[in-house]
Amino acid sequence: MTFSGTQLTAMHAPLLGVNIDHVATVRNARGGFFPDPVAAAQLAVEGGADIITFHLREDRRHIRDDDVVRLKEAIGVPLNFEAAVTDEMIAIIERTAPEHVCLVPERRQEVTTEGGLDVLGQLARVSDACQRLAAAGSRVSLFIGADPGQIEASAKAGAPCIELHTGALANAWWAGDTALVEAEMARLKAGIQLGRSLGLRTHAGHGLALSSDLPMARDPRETSSAFMVAALPDVAELHIGHALIGRALFVGLRQAISDFKAEAIRGRAFSTV
Ligand code: PXP
């Protein structure tokens, strides 16, 4: 069997995890049932999402417990269940048995997940969670900053995967701060290399966007943060929520997903497979 260049690149492009939390945020603004994040997840799968990502927060500000049950029943692609390392969340995940879990830090006052998980500072607790979740059949990933100490601690904790927090890169990109973008890209690259040397599978996410979503004054042909991160060799999955759901308001969910997937393929093609 022979493959064309485009097919090869698509095969090697990072998988796209679509985070549906913000559909639930809009629903919860009025309570009730609409718009339904589970219906959005079904549409996202039809539109090409490889993974459905959601975060059940302690305060249930977006995804609710009944959404988790319905997602498990309705969605045919892997679910990536994001949660804090608490006894309550670990028990819910054990009951749900999603294909993937991403352990994240959580502070009630934060607007979104602002920093990475401190694995180093709570190694025993995170190791225990990794063991329990692996025993429940879930593949565990730890959402951390690209910091060598945290990456090494993640390997020690027994997690097979890490997700590198791209928030600092994304903020620098939105601000048009080229020097900071370069510094953050170098940090991510070094983190990915270290992860690879420790046998970890690496994912990335937070704040990633397309250039056509930049403010009017900026050039829509600028290299996007989604492209840059997809171009990093060895990033196996991208997890994207806010900018994708925001874009869907203008172009529809299917189109937004296909735009982000196309960007991931272009980025990966640039990185020479
Ligand atoms: N990855 C993780 C672990 C997250 O917690 C989130 C949401 O905060 C994302 C990716 C997606 O970030 P965003 O919504 O900014 O695209």
Q: What is the pLDDT of residue 169?
A: 98
- Give the tens place of pLDDT for each residue, 123-146: 999 999 999 999 999 999 999 999
Number of structural domains found in the chain: 1
> CB–CB of 11/3 below 8 Å?
yes
256 is in which domain, residue-wise?
5-269
Distance 30 CA to ligand 1 centre (A): 23
For ligand 1, is residue 57 a contact (CB within 6 Å)? no
Nearest atom in ligand 1 to 209's CA: 16
pLDDT of residue 222: 85
pLDDT digits (tens, 9 = 90+) for 199-212: 999 999 999 999 98
Cβ of 136: how many Cβ atoms within 10 Å? 17
- Return the pLDDT at 67: 98
**Residue 217 clears pLDDT 80, i.e. is over it:** no
20, 22, 25, 82: residue to mutate for ligand 1 pocket, most atoms within 8 A of CB: 82
Beta bridge partners of 203: 163, 237
pTM (predicted TM-score): 0.94
CATH at residue 218: 3.20.20.70
Q: Which pLDDT tens digit goes with each residue over 58-91?
A: 999 999 999 999 999 999 999 999 999 999 999 9
- pLDDT at residue 5 greater than cutoff 80: no
